[in-house]
Amino acid sequence: MKRFLAFDLGAESGRGIVGILSGGNLSLQEVHRFANTPVRLPQGLFWDAFRLFHEMVQGIQQVGKERIPLNGIGVDTWGVDFGLVGRDGTLIENPRCYRDSRTDGILEAAFARMPKEEIYARTGIQFLQFNTLFQLFAMQRGGASSLPAAHSMLMMPDLFNYWLCGRAAAEITIASTSQILDPKRADWDRGLLESFGVSPSILLDPVAPGARLGTLLPHLAEATRVSDETPVYATAGHDTACAVAAVPAIAGGNWCYISSGTWSLLGAELDAPVLSAKALSHGFTNEMGADGKIRFLKNIMGLWLLQECRRAWARDGAEYSYEELMNAAAEAEPFLAVVDPDAFLAPGRMPDKIREYCSGSGQRTPQGPGQIGRVILESLAVCYRKVLEDLEETLGRRMEVVHIVGGGSQNRLLNQFVADATGRLVVAGPAEATAVGNVLVQAMGSGDIANLDSAREVVKNSFEVRRFEPRNSEGWEAAYTRFRERIA
């Protein structure tokens, strides 16, 4: 029996989960859960990195209190964001949140420096204004004092690993979200960063997911009563890489995945990057995955819209659980309107923004949580269909099964909408895919699991999934047509 502690930090919350691996089966025990709330300061929107690390230490302390022997600790987080560390190892600027406005308009300036076609040919990454490359370019253009003082750049899971074990390293799956990595060589494109006026000396050599970085630092071991011989692994540092590793798919089958949470990431698992003009035109990204795979995918705004609405309603004194919102959406009138999920990056006033979008585009305006929730879920479903069709066109093959993993896989209404809108079988689960993948990649690093196929057999043995067959498609074709018009 082996036990691995997975810290899974998303844009809304973080969890510490112990994965217990025994006899080809995996069970999970949550030991700590905490909120992840950005902090707005006069200079911008920041992640509270020190508090997040404090919460992680609290999670390790809980393991120590329960006297759970650990065979490893690993951290996964969202992508693109980073901390800059000085020569003495001190964090010299708290990490910015990717929703910070400093990168507004940066893409135009970046493409004036280097054509987008060249950037894509070198990195294969979807163009999002908050990608690490563009954050660094914005800092360079703005004369950020921390940039010339930086000795190294640590992506979020790398920063937490450094604080846990003292070794600074660049795990490759999280590095690949930066738009600075060459996916063909699986190494940094240092010349690219230099072309944007930033010294490539801040880039550390990449390490593979599953690499053993070191052991828990003595002062943390003493404070938590966990052995200082506990290994710290660079698991698949990007949460989507963990989630994809936990997809219970048939090896070699024609399947795609949606990692469903704050963001929805829809794509396929490949053996090599695809850097074609068609991939660029459809906005697909080539990120590194577990066991040397490529995650060929597209980012979609996801359940962020519903999360923000829920926060807005709570501020107005109306608290709704996600179950209540799903039930209200199920009872609401269908196909009132469709919105482009990717038009809603900035936080705040989300119900008002959705209503304004609908009225401004000549559609009926949803009222109340049920109607707004239904517009969000239907819009996500037709957006998934568009990305799925683009994926099939780019790869030249049809995807027969859509695997939905992550927290959003628990939204039964959205799962059924996806099946109806796409006409494909949807297989939903596991919900804790990121934590599951985190644990399994640690186990691959320790040698307790041989490879990715073996890891997925563990998932199939350990977690139930739900199947959603396509039903009556009446109304979906018209909704899809309206969606295509919105994004044209």
Q: Are residue 164 and residue 127 in the same domain, yes or no?
A: yes
Please answer whether residues 362 and 242 qualify as being in contact, where contact means their C-beta atoms are separated by less than 8 angstroms: no
Q: Are residue 338 and residue 471 in the same domain, yes or no?
A: yes
Q: Look up the pTM and report it.
A: 0.93
Q: Which residues are catalytic?
A: 239
pLDDT digits (tens, 9 = 90+) for 297-336: 999 999 999 999 999 999 999 999 999 999 999 999 999 9
Does any domain span residue 161? yes
Q: Which residues contact 469 (CB under 8 A, 6 or more apart)?
A: 419, 425
pLDDT of residue 188: 98
Please answer whether residues 483 and 379 qualify as being in contact, where contact means their C-beta atoms are separated by less than 8 angstroms: yes
Q: Which residues contact 43 (CB under 8 A, 6 or more apart)?
A: none
Last residue of a domain, which of 202, 237, 272?
237
Q: Are residue 416 and residue 343 in the same domain, yes or no?
A: yes
pLDDT of residue 488: 78
CATH at 258: 3.30.420.40
pLDDT of residue 317: 96
CA dist 312 and 316 (Å) reads: 7
Q: Are residue 353 and residue 378 in the same domain, yes or no?
A: yes
Does any domain span residue 460? no
CA dist 152 and 133 (Å) reads: 14
Does any domain span residue 454? no
Last residue of a domain, which of 190, 212, 237?
237
Neighbouring CB atoms inside 10 A of 233's CB total 28
CA dist 403 and 407 (Å) reads: 13
> What total of structural domains would you count in the chain?
2
Does any domain span residue 443? no
Q: Are residue 170 and residue 253 in the same domain, yes or no?
A: no
Q: Are residue 412 and residue 378 in the same domain, yes or no?
A: yes
Q: Are residue 129 and residue 175 in the same domain, yes or no?
A: yes
- Nearest by Cα to 438 from 405, 404, 479: 405
Q: What angle do CA 430, 237, 117 make, to 5 degrees?
A: 105
Give every residue of the chain whose pLDDT is below 50, as ranges: none
Last residue of a domain, which of 237, 266, 298?
237
Q: Are residue 217 and residue 317 in the same domain, yes or no?
A: no
Does any domain span residue 458? no
pLDDT of residue 360: 96
pLDDT of residue 251: 81
pLDDT of residue 346: 87
pLDDT of residue 1: 94
Does any domain span residue 442? no
Residue 294 domain boundaries: 240-429+465-488
Q: Are residue 46 and residue 22 in the same domain, yes or no?
A: yes
pLDDT of residue 136: 98
Taken in order 126, 188, 91, 17, is the CA torsion positive or negative? positive
Does any domain span residue 459? no
pLDDT of residue 29: 97
Q: Are residue 169 and residue 296 in the same domain, yes or no?
A: no
Q: Are residue 184 and residue 210 in the same domain, yes or no?
A: yes
Q: Are residue 254 and residue 229 in the same domain, yes or no?
A: no
Taken in order 21, 18, 62, 172, is the CA torsion positive or negative? positive
Does any domain span residue 130? yes
